[in-house]
Structure 1
Amino acid sequence: MLMFTSDDKATARKIGVTVTDWQAWKYGEKPVPRWLWLLLRYERDRERMGPWRGFRADGEHIISPWGDGLLFDEWFKLGDYRRASELAQQQADLIERLMA
C-alpha cells in the first residue's frame, strides 16, 4: 500500500508528485489533498477485496473478471441452487447403488 511504503521516491514518482510533497503529506506537515486521500482509500479497498478483486457491478449484473455474470435477483437463489445440486448428486448416488 502506498501509505506504508518506505520508498518515498518510488511512491512520489508513482503518484506524480515531488518527494518533498509526498513526505510533507506522509508526516503530517501539510494536509493531505482530497485526490490523494481518495487514491489511498481506493488502494486500501482494492487490497481488501481479496478473491473479489476484478468483479464489478453493471446495472442488474455482477460480472466476474472472466466475463460471466450473475443477475442481482439470482444472488438470493444461490442457496436453492446449492441444495438442488446436492439433491441431484444424492439421487445419482442412490441410482448407482440401486443398479449395483
Structure 2
Amino acid sequence: MNENYGEQIKTYRINLGMTQNQVAKELDVTPGYISNVENGRTAMSLRLLIYYSKLMGITLDELVGNIEPDYKKSSTDNALWSVIQTLDDEQKDKLIKTIKLWQS
C-alpha cells in the first residue's frame, strides 16, 4: 500500500470539514478504525472505499486512482480507448491526423 493512501483519505475528510467521528458514524465503523486508516495502520475494504468515496462526493477512481503511478497511465489509456471505440472511421481518421499534428 502506498504511504499516501491514508493521507489522501484524511485530506478528503478534512476538506469536507468532517471529523473522524462523523465519518465513522456514516460508515458504521469506529473512529479508531478511521484513525488507523488515516495513519496507514490498516486498509479499507473495497466496500468501505466505495462508501467513503460516495460520502466524499468523489468517484472511487478519484480516491484511489492516483495511488500507483502506473494505474493513472493505464486509467488514461483505458479512457482514451473507450472514446476511440465510439468513433466512426471518418472521426478516427481525423483523430489520427490531429495526433500527428501534435507530434510535429
TM > 0.5 fold call: no
TM bin, normalised by shorter chain, reads 0.3 to 0.5
Larger-Rg structure: 1
Of structures 1 and 2, the one with the larger relative CO (CA 8 A, separation 6+) is 2
If the length of structure 2 is used for normalisation, what is the TM-score?
0.35
Bigger proportion of residues as helix: 2
